Amino acid sequence: MHRVAALIRPPQSTFELASAAQVFGIERPGLPTRYSFGVCTEHPGPVATHAGYDMLVTEGLAALDRADTVLVPGWLPHAEPPSPAVVRALRRAHARGARVVSICSGAFALAHAGLLNGRRATTHWAMADELAARFPEVQVDPNVLYVDHGDVATSAGAGTGIDLCIHLVRRDQGAQYAAHIARTMVMPPHREGGQLQYAAPPHATQIDGTLAPLLEWVAERLGDRITLHTMASREGVSPRTLTRRFTEQLGTSPGQWLLTRRITTAQELLETTDLPLDAIARRVGLSSATNLRRRFLNALGTTPGAYRRTFRSSAR
């Protein structure tokens, strides 16, 4: 029996915890039970949740010493570091060979414990920049749904906790066992692409400073041939000066910003129109469906067709 212990803290997000419990803690007819699931906290007793009720947790940190997998289902508020006792417990569990896993903001607890140093990791896309800034030794990947190193694993936003847990079951027990769990949860055994396809796209109106008029001008002409020299001429500056302004204000190059804007507009058209891929590609300045597919896959880790099936608006 593989023992999974979830380390929670107040105020606990119930969805992340329930995601793990649904995968590891449910007995399913026709499937041998191979996991036990328990919950622990630093100070046993009532634990407040974001859902408005308290959970009564009787197990303390000693439960981590008996676990085969230690799971941190979110860490809120994520800016608050874990106590020295929690850090020691996480390090001790990892040192003796337990697998340590985080869901969403739980990556911050693992980072505080030093378990992500020198490793690739992920968290919710809205917190990825902060994780990278606070822990420069961690190689933060804001795109993927999860990262699994075998002994340490991290997942992105809350819903990707299910993706990671099913992945861990697949690794432990095989694809058939994991697929059975996924079917009972009415979930795909594996989701396509990364989490950036779910992130809110930026708009030019959110940009302060002198570049805003140029960005709006470009956004209205994405189907045209626009180059660095086109944009620099529009601004009345040299290409070098424009590149410096982009770096200072947006943290990226003009070419990369333009490509991102074209992909963002393609996302919007895939969600809200019936236009074929070739028409969308021409409208956003990517010339062909083939080029659109390649750029889309590189940027978002999924195809335009898969994106449209997932995000197609029912109200047009």
- Quick: pLDDT tens for 246-257: 887 777 788 988
Residue 63 has pLDDT above 90, yes or no: yes
Q: Would you say residue 254 lies in a domain?
A: yes
SS3 state of residue 158: coil
Q: Are residues 292 and 179 located together in one domain of the fold?
A: no
Looking at the structure, tell me whether residues 90 and 176 fall in a common domain: yes
Report yes or no on 289 lying in a domain.
Answer: yes
User: Which residues on neighbouring strands pair with residue 38, listed in sequence order?
Assistant: 5
Please report whether residue 239 resides in a domain.
yes
**In a shared domain, residues 155 and 232:** no
CATH value at residue 34: 3.40.50.880
Single pTM value for the model: 0.65
Q: Cα dist. 151→53, 99, 141, 305 in Å?
A: 33, 5, 18, 35
Residue 18 is assigned to a structural domain of this protein: yes
Of 148, 178, 196, the position where a domain reaches its end is 196
* 185: pLDDT strictly greater than 90: no
pLDDT at 155 over 50: yes
Verify that 141 and 229 share a domain, yes or no.
no
- Domain co-membership, 37 together with 185: yes
Give the contacts of 62 (CB within 8 A, at least 6 positions apart): 40
Please identify, among 151, 168, 196, the residue that sits at the C-terminal boundary of a domain: 196
Burial zone of 92 (CB within 10 Å; 0-12 exposed, 13-18 middle, 19+ buried): middle
What percentage of the chain carries pLDDT values higher than 90?
A: 57
Q: Are residues 181 and 79 in the same domain?
A: yes
Band the pLDDT of 312: cuts 50, 70, 90.
Answer: low
Residues 169 and 241 in one domain: no
Q: Tell me: do 144 and 228 sit in the same domain.
A: no
pLDDT band, residue 204 (cuts 50/70/90): very low
Q: In what order do the strands lie in the sheet with 146-148?
A: 35-41, 2-8, 69-73, 99-103, 152-155, 146-148
* Most trustworthy range by pLDDT among 89-93, 198-202, 226-230, 232-236: 89-93
Average pLDDT, the chain: 87
Comparing 39-53, 71-85, 108-122, 199-213, the range with the smallest average pLDDT is: 199-213
Band (pLDDT 50/70/90 cuts) for residue 62 is very high
Q: Which of 77-81, 145-149, 310-314 has the lowest mean pLDDT?
A: 310-314
Give the C-alpha separation, 315 to 294, whole Å. 28
Residue 303 has pLDDT above 50, yes or no: yes
Per-residue model confidence (pLDDT) at position 209: 52
What pLDDT shows up at residue 228?
92
Percent of the chain with pLDDT strictly greater than 70: 91
Q: Are residues 96 and 134 in the same domain?
A: yes
Summarize pLDDT for 100-137 with one digit per residue, the tens. 999 999 999 999 999 999 999 999 988 999 999 999 99
Do residue 204 and residue 191 come from a single domain? no
Q: Does residue 123 form part of some domain? A: yes
The reply to whether 316 falls in a domain is: no
Same domain for 250 and 207? yes
pLDDT at site 197: 47
Q: Categorize the per-residue pLDDT at 299 as very low, low, confident or very high, splitting at 50, 70 and 90.
A: confident
Residues 248, 290 share a domain = yes
| Closest CA relative to residue 263, chosen from 292, 305, 289, 287 | 292
Helix (H) or strand (E) holding 146: strand 146-148
Domain boundary residue, one of 166, 196, 226 = 196
- Cα distance between residue 117 and residue 91, in whole Å: 13
CATH number at residue 213: 1.10.10.60
Cβ contacts of residue 234 below 8 Å, gap of 6+?
Answer: 214, 217
What domain range is 285 assigned to?
200-311
For 98-107, the pLDDT digits (tens) are 999 999 999 9
Query: In total, how many domains does the chain have?
Result: 2
Q: What is the pLDDT of residue 151?
A: 95
Question: Is 161 inside a domain boundary?
Answer: yes
Q: Is residue 106 one of the residues assigned to a domain?
A: yes
- Residue 113, burial from CB neighbour count under 10 angstroms (0-12, 13-18, 19+): buried
pLDDT of residue 10: 95
Question: Over the stretch 258-298, which tens digit does the pLDDT of each residue have?
Answer: 998 898 888 888 888 889 999 999 999 998 999 999 998 88
